[in-house]
Amino acid sequence: MYNPAVDTPTYAKLVRDVVDFPEPGILFKDITPVLADRQAFTALVDDLAEPFAGRIDKVAGIEARGFILATPVAEALRTGFIPIRKPGKLPWKVVREDYLLEYGQDSLEIHQDAVAAGDRVLIVDDVLATGGTAAAAVRLLRRLGAEVVGVAVFLELGFLDGKSALQDVELHSLVNYDGG
Ligand code: AMP
């Protein structure tokens, strides 16, 4: 039976809160101490992947910290990996989705041949905040005909209610900061 090596409080203790980064008013969740810890990193990858074992054809990672987690998750699930990137980074033909940020907007792109119709895809990112980024990734994959099975994130900033942007998708998060 699957037995996680690291529990939620231990994960939470390893995450470093950085005040006012990258701009005033943001409490940035720095996951680099988790990545640097051999036991925690291995457990993190297993914990993200495990609920989706046997149900996924491809894992999509969102630039840039999503790549760090999505690639080992794809390896753990024995699937391919798909990059979802900021505009202008992917070399081949792309489709693009715009989404709103707190101030302004941003976009994500995916190669138009990244998935086959009906592929079962898991989206992986480090943090779910307002959910705008993950929701744009869901829209991109659906436009290409994929079935989005779920979104797996390490940290969910529950007080920002990103879950409501992903109502029709299975959301799996390892640590939820409900109270801010
Ligand atoms: P959102 O679209 O609001 O859900 O924001 C999610 C994206 O922004 C993810 O790709 C995260 O890496 C990043 N992000 C948002 N808020 C934070 C935060 N407080 N700490 C670290 N990363 C964040």
CATH, residue 159: 3.40.50.2020
Of 55, 65, 85, 109, the catalytic one is: 65
Per-residue pLDDT tens over the stretch 62-107: 999 999 999 999 999 999 999 999 999 999 999 999 999 877 899 9
- Domain count along the chain: 1
Confidence band, pLDDT 50/70/90 cuts, at residue 179:
confident
Q: How far apart are CA 31 and CA 147, in angstroms?
A: 29
User: Would you say 153 and 124 are in contact if contact means Cβ atoms under 8 Å apart?
Assistant: yes
Please check whether residue 13 lies inside any domain of the structure: no
Please check whether residue 17 lies inside any domain of the structure: no
The atom of ligand 1 lying closest to the CA of 31 is: 21
Please check whether residue 102 lies inside any domain of the structure: yes
Give one DSSP letter per residue of 82-131, joined into a string: EEEBSTT--SS-EEEEEEE-SSSEEEEEEETTSS-TT-EEEEEEEEESSS
**Residue 3 confidence (pLDDT) above 80:** no
The atom of ligand 1 lying closest to the CA of 127 is: 11
Q: How far apart are the first and last CA of the chain?
A: 34
Confidence band, pLDDT 50/70/90 cuts, at residue 44:
very high
What's the whole-number mean pLDDT along residues 35-53? 97
Please check whether residue 37 lies inside any domain of the structure: no
Helix 65-77 × helix 38-49 angle, to 10°: 70
Please indicate whether residue 65 is annotated as part of the active site.
yes
The CB density around residue 99, as the number of other CB atoms within 10 Å, is: 18
Of 16, 55, 96, 102, the catalytic one is: 102
Could you tell me where the DSSP H helices lie in the chain? 8-14, 32-36, 38-49, 65-77, 132-143
Please check whether residue 9 lies inside any domain of the structure: no
Please indicate whether residue 102 is annotated as part of the active site.
yes
Please check whether residue 78 lies inside any domain of the structure: yes
Domain residue limits at 103: 55-176
Please check whether residue 12 lies inside any domain of the structure: no
Please check whether residue 28 lies inside any domain of the structure: no
